[in-house]
Chain A
Amino acid sequence: GSAMGQQPASVPQFCNSPTMIVMVGLPARGKTYISKKLTRYLNWIGVPTKVFNVGQYRREAVKTYKNFEFFKPDNEEAMRIRKACASAALKDVSAYFTKEHGQVAVFDATNTTRERRAIIISFAKERGYKVFFVESICEDPEIIAENIKQVKFGSPDYVDRDIDEAMEDFIQRIECYRANYMSIDDEKDRKLSYIKIFDVGSRYLVNRVQDHIQSRIVYYLMNIHVTPRSIYLSRHGESELNLSGRIGGDAGLSSRGQKYANALATFMRGQTIKDLKVWTSHMKRTIQTAEALGVQYEQWKALNEIDAGVCEEMTYEEIQENFPEEFALRDQDKYRYRYPKGESYEDLVHRLEPVIMELERQENVLVICHQAVMRCLLAYFLDKPADELPYLRCPLHTVLKLTPVAYGCKVESFFLNIEAVNTHRERPVNVNINRNPEEALHTVPDHI
């Protein structure tokens, strides 16, 4: 029998009422960047979150964007459309909470007038939703110009426009909002819960954090930055246990693994990175890999491979023989399945959260870790959902270089040309506990 449905998450879920995060700020202040990033983080830690971008509703309502005149405060026709779009978005927020079990909705729009914010507040109050405002304030012209270049030129609004025209139009668009912009007021709005972010994070004002999730959100927002950098993710070099198809354990590198470590050193030197930090787990195979780099590295116990409990150091064949039912249950829900006396991917995400938080604070970092760990980290950066996470491909001897770009992450994959076993096991077709061994072992990769 399966107690799968009853297995609780590793951490209590502290959300009771649904929460609306409401963005506030002039165009090109990073609202959408923050909305998407925050949503990605919350989903990764297990809080169902969705972004509602009112601009998208507007693009659906007004098929073709002509120019900034649409946004003029005296354009009544447009005002009506914009108000209708905001209402449609709010309606979808409500459906997300009541029908789709959402917990956090990020309402991404300028919301620059008190009037608009009042509508949202009363909407939320009527339905028992908590509201937390995130206002981004910035008057640095360089940052704003950079912003416009990075994300606005690629927007559907400007896709057929030449760059200078687009820039000119967008600047006029910002001016349309400026006259009526009322920042959250420290006196009048003292009962509201909010964070004001000044100048891309050099200063913050935080008011009335109500609960756990708002506290986590504030902590996250205060740790992210926009300084260009790259994060390199790699597994340890091939290990002795890898060669024999055994999972877990704490083995050292095979000779090919050692070759990889040297190749990694050469590769990283070739990248000529300023101030590279190197992180490993506490397990021999990552430490030995880092040693070859000849630079300082930091060990994190939190980066240790997933604990396979009673299955540690077994081959898949041995697991099938000794624990056929467990093996099937794992295939049924690989994300939430916890090895007896071991961990689940879900547990892994929870223990990796401080690593992610510190990765956000840092700049250039190389993380030398393990298959399951790397899948979790990759899922965070590439916004992969829980059901895809345990099947992400993280082969040995391959470095992934992640570079934040626009609203997402560019990924470059570098296989360093040293052969290694394949450790990737796809989900078999038959996950029934009554399946026969061949069906269970069908997708096991080759080993000695």
Chain B
Amino acid sequence: MTNCPTLIVLVGLPARGKTYISKKLTRYLNWIGVPTKEFNVGQYRRECLKIYKSFEFFRPDNEEGLKIRRQCAMAALNDVRQYLSVEGGQVAVFDATNTTRERRGTIVKFAEQNGFKVFFVESVCEDPDVIAQNIVQVKLGSPDYIHTNTEEAIEDFMKRIKCYESSYQPLDEVLDRDLSYIKIMDVGRRYLVNRVLDHIQSRIVYYLMNIHITPRSIYLCRHGESDLNIKGRIGGDSGLSARGKEFASRLRKFIQDQNIKDLKVWTSQMKRTIQTAECLGVPYEQWKSLNEIDAGVCEEMMYEEIQEHYPLEFALRDQDKYRYRYPKGESYEDLVQRLEPVIMELERQENVLVICHQAVMRCLLAYFLDKTADELPYLKCSLHSVLKLTPMAYGCKVESVCLGVEAVNTHRNRPEVGLISPPVSKTNRLCDFGLIYVDVSQKKKKS
């Protein structure tokens, strides 16, 4: 994608969603494979100050306060430089108010000196309800206010915002016409986009224009248990087993009881998810992108058969399950790429139930719960359980619902042995590893 690293600089008064945007954007970029890290200057300030007394710290005439705040910003920029120039990071998100032209000028100069591109993200909002909601959701729980009662905290925070207001210079259409930026107004009702320079900035703009903060829940589950699941075979396109059908009918009842407004239901184009959705008795949309990972030459095999016919491949997969691509098949990394439009549309939507597959669900879950590529292929996504994800503060609340229908376990844990490339002569040892972790209900684990 890009050669130069990119510095994303947030701009806006307190409680305008800067940290929310920073964290969400960082999560998205990491998920699509762009190494990204956020640098929250407020955190540097908390480390420096240890205890937050009151809004007085932020008064524009508080010289001591200004000195500390400037130092914190410099320390954060230093760490940005370390991350982008030394540690191989590609995007750094600089989360601070950055409300004066002077401060932004300093950052632009810093970026120029280091060969970073700069893209500003300004959040402008004057809706008092939105701001109040913001304060309640994220400020009251902040380390700054942990020992303050709610009313006092709100009052102090409002005064804090006032400290910035008088010196706030929003990005200006004329004065800042040579900068690259997006100005987000009223939580996404309106956007002003100026001088998008490259692919990554274009993707960032598209993402920011699709996210919203309307409360909603996303339900993730796999299809009901399938005939191939029972046989311990991976992939394929089989129908539901009797227990799978039972799950589908309990899912129907669960959905009805939840009484969800305008629920959208999505499935893949494979029989087992479609059959599951059919039982719900509501309209559903099919996405080919939600199809299970293509296991190529290993399609419909049992793990024992893969071990027998492709022992080397089997071992390579365990070494790097995220990037490993089945011969004539796909990798988890490929899966993430094909799921990106699904994630983008999930961001646009409100209440959605996604009926999918094990590897697919792991990828989607990793996006919502900010799991690394390393953890992703080992996330537990059991048959017959539904995960309800509800965005909350800066993250996602997860509730796991068990609908009480038995199913085989299809989860294969990460093998314990280290990452050594196995020479052919060690085939016997691989046999052991290969079989130890197959965990189909009727089989006992080998020691």
Asked if A208 is at the interface (CB within 8 A of a chain B CB), the reply is yes
Q: Which A177-207 residues sit within 8 Å CB-CB of chain B? A: 190, 202-207
Q: Known contacts A10-B287, A215-B348, A222-B202; decide if A206 and B266 are in contact (CB<8 Å).
A: no
State in angstroms the CA–CA spacing of A88 and B221 once bound together.
51
| Residues of the A chain whose Cβ atoms lie less than 8 Å from the Cβ of B195 | 202-203
| Residues of the B chain whose Cβ atoms lie less than 8 Å from the Cβ of A341 | 299
Interface string of A203-238 (1 = CB under 8 A from B): 111111101100100110011000000000000000
| Residues of the B chain whose Cβ atoms lie less than 8 Å from the Cβ of A301 | 334, 337
Q: Which B181-232 residues sit within 8 Å CB-CB of chain A? A: 189-196, 198-199, 202, 205-206, 209-210
**A206 nearest in chain B by CB position:** B191
Q: Known contacts A223-B202, A358-B199, A361-B202; decide if A12 and B287 are in contact (CB<8 Å).
A: yes
In the A-B complex, list the 4 residue pairs whose CB atoms are closest, starting with the nearest.
A12-B285, A10-B288, A206-B191, A204-B193
Q: Which A1-51 residues sit within 8 Å CB-CB of chain B? A: 8, 10-12, 14
| Residues of the A chain whose Cβ atoms lie less than 8 Å from the Cβ of B196 | 222
Q: Known contacts A11-B341, A212-B345, A215-B348; decide if A222 and B288 are in contact (CB<8 Å).
A: no
Asked if B286 is at the interface (CB within 8 A of a chain A CB), the reply is yes
State in angstroms the CA–CA spacing of A299 and B190 once bound together.
36
Cβ B190 vs Cβ A208 within 8 A: yes
Asked if A351 is at the interface (CB within 8 A of a chain B CB), the reply is yes
A372 to chain B, nearest CB (A): 16
Cβ B266 vs Cβ A212 within 8 A: no
Asked if A427 is at the interface (CB within 8 A of a chain B CB), the reply is no
Asked if B134 is at the interface (CB within 8 A of a chain A CB), the reply is no
Cβ B189 vs Cβ A207 within 8 A: yes
**A249 nearest in chain B by CB position:** B328
Cβ B348 vs Cβ A204 within 8 A: no
Cβ B199 vs Cβ A361 within 8 A: yes
| Residues of the B chain whose Cβ atoms lie less than 8 Å from the Cβ of A215 | 206, 209-210, 348
Q: Known contacts A206-B193, A208-B189; decide if A12 and B205 are in contact (CB<8 Å).
A: no
Asked if B289 is at the interface (CB within 8 A of a chain A CB), the reply is yes
A202 to chain B, nearest CB (A): 6
Asked if A157 is at the interface (CB within 8 A of a chain B CB), the reply is no
Asked if B412 is at the interface (CB within 8 A of a chain A CB), the reply is no
Interface string of B273-292 (1 = CB under 8 A from A): 00000000000011111000
Asked if B351 is at the interface (CB within 8 A of a chain A CB), the reply is no
* A-B contact sample (7 more), CB < 8 A, given A10-B287, A222-B206: A10-B289, A11-B289, A12-B266, A203-B177, A205-B191, A205-B192, A222-B202
State in angstroms the CA–CA spacing of A206 and B192 once bound together.
6
A47 to chain B, nearest CB (A): 15
Q: How many contacts between A and B, using CB within 8 angstroms?
A: 72
Which B positions have Cβ atoms within 8 angstroms of A? 173, 177, 189-196, 198-199, 202, 205-206, 209-210, 266, 269, 285-289, 299, 328, 334, 337-338, 341, 345, 348
| Residues of the A chain whose Cβ atoms lie less than 8 Å from the Cβ of B193 | 203-206, 222
| Residues of the A chain whose Cβ atoms lie less than 8 Å from the Cβ of B191 | 204-207
B222 to chain A, nearest CB (A): 20
Asked if A173 is at the interface (CB within 8 A of a chain B CB), the reply is no
State in angstroms the CA–CA spacing of A90 and B231 once bound together.
60
Chain A: interface residue total (CB-CB under 8 A): 30
B60 to chain A, nearest CB (A): 31
**A353 nearest in chain B by CB position:** B341
Which A positions have Cβ atoms within 8 angstroms of B? 8, 10-12, 14, 190, 202-209, 211-212, 215, 218-219, 222-223, 301-302, 312, 341, 347, 350-351, 358, 361
State in angstroms the CA–CA spacing of A403 and B230 once bound together.
56
| Residues of the A chain whose Cβ atoms lie less than 8 Å from the Cβ of B177 | 203
State in angstroms the CA–CA spacing of A10 and B289 once bound together.
7
Q: List 21 A-B contacts (CB under 8 A).
A: A10-B289, A12-B266, A12-B285, A12-B286, A14-B345, A202-B195, A203-B192, A203-B193, A205-B193, A206-B193, A208-B189, A211-B348, A215-B209, A215-B210, A219-B202, A222-B193, A222-B202, A222-B205, A222-B206, A301-B334, A312-B328
State in angstroms the CA–CA spacing of A207 and B190 once bound together.
4
Cβ A351 vs Cβ B287 within 8 A: no
A269 to chain B, nearest CB (A): 24
Q: Known contacts A203-B193, A205-B192, A206-B193; decide if A347 and B210 are in contact (CB<8 Å).
A: no
| Residues of the B chain whose Cβ atoms lie less than 8 Å from the Cβ of A203 | 173, 177, 192-195
**B194 nearest in chain A by CB position:** A203
User: Which residue from A202, A205, A207, A219 sits with its C-beta under 8 Å from B206?
Assistant: A219
State in angstroms the CA–CA spacing of A222 and B345 once bound together.
19
Cβ B192 vs Cβ A350 within 8 A: no
| Residues of the B chain whose Cβ atoms lie less than 8 Å from the Cβ of A361 | 198-199, 202
Q: Known contacts A215-B348, A222-B202, A222-B205; decide if A11 and B288 are in contact (CB<8 Å).
A: yes
**B344 nearest in chain A by CB position:** A215
**A358 nearest in chain B by CB position:** B199
B302 to chain A, nearest CB (A): 19
| Residues of the A chain whose Cβ atoms lie less than 8 Å from the Cβ of B334 | 301
**B192 nearest in chain A by CB position:** A205
Cβ A205 vs Cβ B288 within 8 A: no
| Residues of the B chain whose Cβ atoms lie less than 8 Å from the Cβ of A351 | 338
| Residues of the A chain whose Cβ atoms lie less than 8 Å from the Cβ of B328 | 312
**B341 nearest in chain A by CB position:** A11
**A196 nearest in chain B by CB position:** B192
A45 to chain B, nearest CB (A): 11
**B337 nearest in chain A by CB position:** A301
State in angstroms the CA–CA spacing of A211 and B196 once bound together.
23
State in angstroms the CA–CA spacing of A223 and B341 once bound together.
17
Cβ A347 vs Cβ B190 within 8 A: no
State in angstroms the CA–CA spacing of A202 and B178 once bound together.
10
B29 to chain A, nearest CB (A): 16
State in angstroms the CA–CA spacing of A207 and B191 once bound together.
6
A378 to chain B, nearest CB (A): 23
A344 to chain B, nearest CB (A): 9
State in angstroms the CA–CA spacing of A203 and B198 once bound together.
14
A229 to chain B, nearest CB (A): 16
State in angstroms the CA–CA spacing of A378 and B51 once bound together.
63
State in angstroms the CA–CA spacing of A8 and B312 once bound together.
38
State in angstroms the CA–CA spacing of A182 and B375 once bound together.
56
| Residues of the B chain whose Cβ atoms lie less than 8 Å from the Cβ of A312 | 328
B286 to chain A, nearest CB (A): 5
State in angstroms the CA–CA spacing of A361 and B206 once bound together.
14
Cβ A11 vs Cβ B189 within 8 A: no
User: Which residue from B190, B205, B266, B338 sits with its C-beta under 8 Å from A205?
Assistant: B190
State in angstroms the CA–CA spacing of A34 and B338 once bound together.
29
State in angstroms the CA–CA spacing of A209 and B188 once bound together.
9
A339 to chain B, nearest CB (A): 13
B205 to chain A, nearest CB (A): 7
| Residues of the A chain whose Cβ atoms lie less than 8 Å from the Cβ of B341 | 11
A343 to chain B, nearest CB (A): 9
| Residues of the B chain whose Cβ atoms lie less than 8 Å from the Cβ of A190 | 190
State in angstroms the CA–CA spacing of A406 and B320 once bound together.
50
| Residues of the B chain whose Cβ atoms lie less than 8 Å from the Cβ of A14 | 345
Q: Known contacts A222-B193, A301-B337, A351-B338; decide if A206 and B209 are in contact (CB<8 Å).
A: yes
**A301 nearest in chain B by CB position:** B334
Interface centre among A14, A203, A211 (most CB of B within 10 A): A203
State in angstroms the CA–CA spacing of A375 and B289 once bound together.
22
| Residues of the A chain whose Cβ atoms lie less than 8 Å from the Cβ of B205 | 222
| Residues of the B chain whose Cβ atoms lie less than 8 Å from the Cβ of A222 | 193, 196, 202, 205-206
State in angstroms the CA–CA spacing of A12 and B328 once bound together.
27
Cβ A8 vs Cβ B269 within 8 A: yes
State in angstroms the CA–CA spacing of A203 and B196 once bound together.
8
Q: Known contacts A207-B190, A212-B348, A301-B334; decide if A11 and B287 are in contact (CB<8 Å).
A: yes
| Residues of the B chain whose Cβ atoms lie less than 8 Å from the Cβ of A218 | 209
B212 to chain A, nearest CB (A): 10
**B345 nearest in chain A by CB position:** A212
A75 to chain B, nearest CB (A): 37
State in angstroms the CA–CA spacing of A170 and B341 once bound together.
44
| Residues of the B chain whose Cβ atoms lie less than 8 Å from the Cβ of A212 | 345, 348
**A219 nearest in chain B by CB position:** B206
| Residues of the A chain whose Cβ atoms lie less than 8 Å from the Cβ of B194 | 202-204
